[in-house]
Amino acid sequence: MKRLLVLLLSGCAAFVSCGVTALYDWGGGGNVSNYERLAYKDYKTQTPEAVCKLLCLYEKMLTNPGGSRRMPPPGICAEYGYLLLLPGTADIFEKNATPAQRKMFPVTDDYDELFRKMGKEMLQHEIELYPESKVFIGPLIRKLAQ
């Protein structure tokens, strides 16, 4: 009887684990996601091309969220907003983005203004999606408003 119970429980565990999907999509890419590679592994040596790729990856993660929750992972909107608001990001994008990367954003002559607007919106969106982030993001938004 014990053997049958152990076998039954093992079979149930194996069956249940086969259907598990990730809550969020972190950019795919096998063992190391594109997000991990662009945001963390290459962080200290961010090239202009890597910044453009990271901006586009964030945009893709927001417009086409994967995972079972179908929403951006926690912190992504805040990181995206922060990157958009960093001095020089708009200039880097304007000078180095490929035509395909430019298509991911609204057509504009002033990326600095666009990125400032989008950056503030992304910080606010992080709070909307994850209200617990208000403790960290709220003071940043207030400082930007000054």
Both tokens assigned to 31: 């063992």
Q: For residue 133, what pLDDT is reported?
A: 94
Q: Tell me the pLDDT of the chain (146 aa) as tens digits.
A: 555 444 455 555 544 444 456 667 666 655 556 777 777 765 667 889 989 999 999 999 898 887 788 888 899 999 999 999 999 999 999 999 999 999 999 999 999 999 999 999 999 999 999 999 999 999 988 888 77
User: How far is C-alpha 28 from the chain's CA centre?
Assistant: 12
Q: For residue 141, what pLDDT is reported?
A: 87
Q: For residue 138, what pLDDT is reported?
A: 92
Torsion sign, CA atoms 115, 93, 125, 146: negative
**Vertex 90: Cα angle to 55 and 32 (nearest 5):** 20
Rounded to 5 degrees, what are φ and ψ at 123? -65, -45
